[in-house]
């Protein structure tokens, strides 16, 4: 309707890197050509922004590449758990496996937030994402 509208908003480095890791995951797991074209287009635009702002991720310092790898693993885990939850829901299986998977989602999201925050701090981001949910883990600080 409006033809090619693209809105850019300020985000932290961690948010940008997180989005790139999710798009890479989608590249690997989405097979519909139309959806994949959209994923590839968005990924290319975000890579360009990343290179202009924080630099190429392939040339990032070791600490950043380690966190990037951890973030990719966490996002894969979230994707897998979400798939499991949907399969259990389709089967109307709301027993212990469903409950454990649901709990795993917020645990993984807590770890995802921690990594995104660390990446943002590594790059000295002016914008920092804040978490509003208290941690369910009594060993960690509340949000």
Query: Which conformational region is residue 21 in: left (phi greater than 0), alpha (psi within -120 to 50 degrees), or beta?
Result: alpha
pTM over 0.85: yes
H-type helices in 55-132, by residue range?
62-90, 96-122
Contact (Cβ atoms closer than 8 angstroms) between residue 43 and residue 28: no
Determine which helix (DSSP H) or strand (DSSP E) holds 42, and give its type and residue range: helix 33-53
**Higher pLDDT residue, 134 or 46?**
46
The tally of domains found in the chain comes to: 1
Judge whether residue 45 has pLDDT over 60: yes
Would 82 be classed as within a structural domain? yes
**pLDDT tens, 106-125?**
999 999 999 999 999 999 99
CB neighbours of 92 closer than 8 A, spacing ≥ 6?
A: none
Would 96 be classed as within a structural domain? yes
Instruction: Specify the pLDDT at position 129.
Output: 84
Domain of 43 in residue numbering reads as 13-122
């Amino acid at each position: 309707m409006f033809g090619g509208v693209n809105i850019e908003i300020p985000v932290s480095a961690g948010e940008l890197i997180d989005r790139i890791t999710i798009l890479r995951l989608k590249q690997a797991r989405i097979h519909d050509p139309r959806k994949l074209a959209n994923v590839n287009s968005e990924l290319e635009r975000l890579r360009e922004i990343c290179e202009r702002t924080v630099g190429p991720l392939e040339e990032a310092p070791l600490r950043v590449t380690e966190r990037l790898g951890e973030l990719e693993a966490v996002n894969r885990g979230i994707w897998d758990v979400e798939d499991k939850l949907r399969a259990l829901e389709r089967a109307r299986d709301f027993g212990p496996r469903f409950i454990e998977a649901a709990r795993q989602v917020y645990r993984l999201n807590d770890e995802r937030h921690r990594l995104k925050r660390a990446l943002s701090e590594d790059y000295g981001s002016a914008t920092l994402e804040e978490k509003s949910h208290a941690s369910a883990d009594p060993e960690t600080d509340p949000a």
